[in-house]
Each structure stands twice: as C-alpha cells, then as structure tokens.
Structure 1
Amino acid sequence: MPTITASAVQELRTKTGVGMMACKKALIEVNGDIKEAIKYLREKGLSNAAKKAERATKEGSVFIQISDDHKTGVILEINCETDFVAKNDDFLETGNYLAQTILAQNNVDHKDDLANLKLENFNNFQEYLSEKILKTGENLVVKNLQKIKTSGFLSQYIHLNGKIGVLVEFSADVDSTLGKDISMQIAASNPLYVAPSDMPAADVEKEKEIIKKQVLNEGKPANIVDKIVLGKLSKYYKEVCLLEQAFVKNPDKAVKQILPAGIKINTFVRLALV
C-alpha cells in the first residue's frame, strides 16, 4: 500500500470538495496520483455530489422518532432543493432512517455530532450523505437536529406533511391525547418560551421599554403609564409564552389551566419550513 500523506489528502479534498475518507481511499486506489484520484472520484460520482452541495436548499421535511418508553426523542430537519424531492419516498426514507439511527446511538445529540454517527456500509456520515445527494440529484443538508433525553415523558406532532414538527418534554407521564394537544398548540401558535420566567430578564426589560415608549407616544398620563405597561406586557406573554396562551381547543382557558396537577412542560422544540 502506498504511503498517503495528509497534505495529499487535503489537496485532493480542496480540489474536489469530497470528504477526507473518500479522498484517502481514492489516493490509495491510484497509488497517490492526484490527477488520477480526481478522475477516480469523478467516475464514482462523488465529485458531482460535492458540486451539488453548494446549491441552495429551501425545501425539505421534519422527522421525529421517539423511543418506546417516551424517554428519548430526536427531531431532525433535512433540507433539499425542491418540493418534488421533499415528497419523494427515497428522501422520506432517508430522513426516517437517520432519525431512527440517531435515536439508537448515544453519541449524537446535535448537528455538530453527526461526525460521530455510525452508519452501516459507510465510513462516516458525509460519505452516506454524498451517496444520497447523488441518488436524489439534489443537495441535501441537515439544518437542525436535537435529541431530548428525559426522566419524564415525550410527545410529538408532525404538521403539513413534515413542514412543521414539534417535540415536547413533560415532567411526568401524560395521556396521548394531552400530549398531542400540547404539541399541536405549539405547532399552531409558535410560542418562544414555556413560561414568562423562561424569558431572559434583558429581553423583558427591552420589551417594557418598547411598550413604555408606545404608551407615552399615545399621550397617556404619566401616573398610569406603569400600570398600562404591565397590562400590555401580560398580553405579550400570552403571545410568546406557551403556558399563557389561550388553549386552541378551548380558548376560554389558558394552556396552564388544562395541565393535570403536578404536570409541567419542561421544554419543547419546534422546527418549521413554513
């Protein structure tokens, strides 16, 4: 076997955009000749995959997988170039396979961890992705990835054929109906926080200042400005905080009022392509 230097691998990678492992393999196959390695990669189609990887991706889908005990969940957004591919069975199978594989492995919690992902018949994730890019004919990008592990309970909801996905963590077991209802609430209302207490203090003060300026510009008496600000801030919380929002299935109640005693919503993740 010829000795392949790191600088040769890097040079080939720079010229082709192909992953390091594939570049090293190509150099080994052609006894270290850079020009022949480029030809080898073109024949294998990997160079074309790298070129596709520069193209914009605005379509795609959200994928979710939850363990049978509802203690671990993965939410994953994969982007492609066209809606046609986003609805293609191969693309959907790829997304579901990745979500299932990530769920089963303990060393991948975020997008930056994908280099750790073990995939059967592939040296690494990038090699796997390059093959899928060639198969679909479009650039594919993992835009978002989060894994939640809990001692509580996870629920999920997919809306608009994968255009919106929600993963919710409860503090303890809940029935499937409530879990779905809360997930649908998040999908529809797009809250930014679970509760007002989750909003950073600096953001609260900034919002207060904005409201105060609005009130003063309306010419309200100075002695009632603070009271009006608090009232408007409360309305703002109802827009951006899940627990304060009107429950979509019964607007007469806030979300916090429909939760069973002792049950809390710890966190949620909402991914959307719309």
Structure 2
Amino acid sequence: MAITASMVKELRELTGAGMMDCKKALNETNGNMEEAIEFLRKNGEAKAVKKAGRIAAEGIVMAEVRDDKTAAIVEVNSETDFVAKNAEFQGFVKAVVNQAIGSDSKDMDSFMAEAWNEDASKTVKDALTEKIAVIGENLNIRRFEKLESDGCIVAYIHGGGRIGVLVEADTDVVNDEVKACLKNVAMQVAAMSPKYVSRDEVSQEFLDKEKEILLAQAKNDPKNANKPDNIIEKMLIGRLNKEMKEICLLDQVYVQDGDLTVAKYVEKVAKETGANLTVKKFVRFETGEGLEKKNEDFAAEVAAQMNA
C-alpha cells in the first residue's frame, strides 16, 4: 500500500512520534493505522505519547543575546524541578533558544514545524518528542519571543531560570554603562512585574474598565456614603494614578534607589553617558505562570497506575 503524506501526518498527530518514525511504522504495517500505533509503542516512541497528557509546569526560562542587537527568550517546561536542573534538559533548552534566535517564525505552530538546527532531518517537534523519550517526563516548549533592535538588548535570568527578562532600548550609545543600566531595568522588571513600559501603552479600554471597578468599590464603601460625586471622582483619579505607578515600568519606584522612578534613573544614566536612551520594550517570562501545578501525591499516583 502506498504511504501518503496525509497518513504520516495523521499518525504524527495521534502519537506525537517523529515524521520518519511514523513513515517507517506505516511501511512496516502496510498502512494500518492501529498497527502502526502499536508498532511505535513497541519501539519506544510511545514513551512520549503516554506522557503527553501529564502536567508540565516546572522547567526553566532561558535567553540569548547576540551582538547586543538580536535576542530570544524561551520557556521550556518539565514535570518536575528535578528534571529542570538536569544537564540533559538544560542542554536541550539551550538548543531551543539558539533555534529561536535564528528563527523567522511568528507563532508556536510554525516554530515547531521548523527544521531542527542540530539535525535538519527532524523538526523542532521531532526533537522535543525524542527528548521526552530520553528524559522520561512530559516536556513542553511553551513559548518564545525574538527581538531585533537598532539600539541595544540585554537579558537577565533570575533564580536559575525561574524568571527571564529581555529589555530593548533605543540608544545611540552602547557601552558598559548603558548595558549595566538596562540590566538594572531588567532586574526591576523581574522583581516588580510591570504590565507596560509607560502610560502611553495603556489602552483607553483598560482605563475605562479600571475606572468602572474603582467607582463600584468607592460607592460600596460605607465611608463614602455621603461624599459628593466630585470628591469621589478625585478619589478615582488618585487611585488610578497609584495603579499606573505600579503597572507601568517607567512610573515605578526604582528598587535600587527609592528617591528615583525608573524613568528618572534612565534619564540620569543617559545624561552621564551622553546617550539618547529610551526603554522601548520588555519581555518577562516566569516559569509555569498560569499553569496548573502537578499534585505531588506519589502514593496516589502509584495506586492509580496499579489499578489502571
């Protein structure tokens, strides 16, 4: 029976195994899909399949910057912190970030379909599937972002990969002082987790929604029962300004000098170095944020496997 590309694609989607492994399995089983799945299981490729449904919420964030102008940051997840600290896993993440920094992909699907830099006969997805089989845990390349700049980009990794940050700046001077400044700004982003660089990025829709929430809170507070609307309006403006100082990076109090905002700190360094320096963008990844954590009840897990 002739093995078609659509059959190989279907088997890959069913099993998560590599393209060439799927093609071989279909050839060996004369195109029978069920027998091909069984063939893959017998040959060890099913290791990745069995683990695909398990929660991978640990892992690390890694970043790479080249020539101060091009950078990438990735988050790759594992099931356990033990594997996240494993040299095999960390070597794979390093390969993934090197893949990302040379990639033109704009989304995860196209990134996963790229030829793997370390072996062009495989895709990134194939390499991930093989690494799952080697390490013995479910792994996931969760996200990546690539930055390119005419100015300068710096990276900061906190806690051995728990948090990773890229900061991009427009600058006509790139020297150690400027890069140290941007590194300090990246540390601020890691510690204080802003949502925006400046108030200019905050949409009117967001502001209207926050005003609505703050107004409801004010009216539901018994202390404000007899206050006129113009006083409540002033309270809202004050509360909204306070929130902007928390969520906008440049408005935040600079953690290394409480007398300065981040904006004033950057201005100070710009003046000292003679640079036209403006923070343009940041990317902050925190490992496992928004993911359900694995319930580490090993007794229950063993019991479930025995009863399966």
The yes-or-no answer on 1:176 pairing with 2:190 is no
The answer to whether the 8 Å contact 2:52/2:138 transfers is yes
* Deviation at residue 14 of structure 1 after TM alignment: 5.9
- Ranked by relative contact order (alpha carbons within 8 Å, sequence separation 6 or more), the top structure is 2
The answer to whether the 8 Å contact 1:79/1:140 transfers is yes
Instruction: Decide which of 105, 108, 120 is 2:105's aligned counterpart.
Output: 108
TM-score, normalised on structure 1? 0.90
Aligned residue number for residue 269 of structure 1: 283
Alignment of 1:103-182 (within 5 A): 103=101, 105-114=102-111, 115-121=113-119, 122-172=121-171, 173=174, 175-182=178-185
Which amino acid in structure 2 is aligned with residue 102 of structure 1?
A: A
Alignment of 1:1-274 (within 5 A): 3-6=2-5, 8-9=7-8, 12-13=11-12, 16-34=15-33, 37-67=36-66, 69-103=67-101, 105-114=102-111, 115-121=113-119, 122-172=121-171, 173=174, 175-216=178-219, 217=221, 218-219=223-224, 220-259=227-266, 260=270, 262-273=276-287
CA distance in 1, matches of 2:135, 2:81: 12
The answer to whether the 8 Å contact 1:109/1:145 transfers is no
Aligned residue number for residue 300 of structure 2: none
CA distance in 1, matches of 2:284, 2:190: 7
Unpaired runs of 5+ in structure 1?
none
* Deviation at residue 228 of structure 1 after TM alignment: 2.0
* Deviation at residue 29 of structure 1 after TM alignment: 4.6
CA distance in 1, matches of 2:196, 2:265: 18
CA distance in 2, matches of 1:74, 1:188: 20
Unpaired runs of 5+ in structure 2?
290-308
Judged with a 3 Å threshold, the aligned counterparts in structure 2 of structure 1 residues 15 and 160 are, in CA distance, closer, same or farther, namely closer
TM-score, normalised on structure 2? 0.81
Cα deviation digits, residues 32-87 of structure 1 (max 9, x gap): 454653344224311221221111111110010111x2111111000110010011
* Deviation at residue 17 of structure 1 after TM alignment: 4.2
CA distance in 1, matches of 2:217, 2:285: 32
| CA root-mean-square deviation | 2.2
SS in structure 2 at match of 1:165: strand
CA distance in 1, matches of 2:35, 2:236: 70
Which amino acid in structure 1 is aligned with residue 208 of structure 2?
A: E
Cα deviation digits, residues 158-198 of structure 1 (max 9, x gap): 11110100011111236221121000000000000011111
The answer to whether the 8 Å contact 2:18/2:122 transfers is no
Equivalent pairs counted in the alignment come to: 271
* Deviation at residue 119 of structure 1 after TM alignment: 2.9
Judged with a 3 Å threshold, the aligned counterparts in structure 2 of structure 1 residues 110 and 71 are, in CA distance, closer, same or farther, namely farther
Which amino acid in structure 1 is aligned with residue 247 of structure 2?
A: V
Following superposition, which runs of at least 4 residues in structure 1 exceed 4 angstroms of deviation?
33-36
Q: Sequence identity, in percent? A: 39
CA distance in 2, matches of 1:57, 1:136: 13
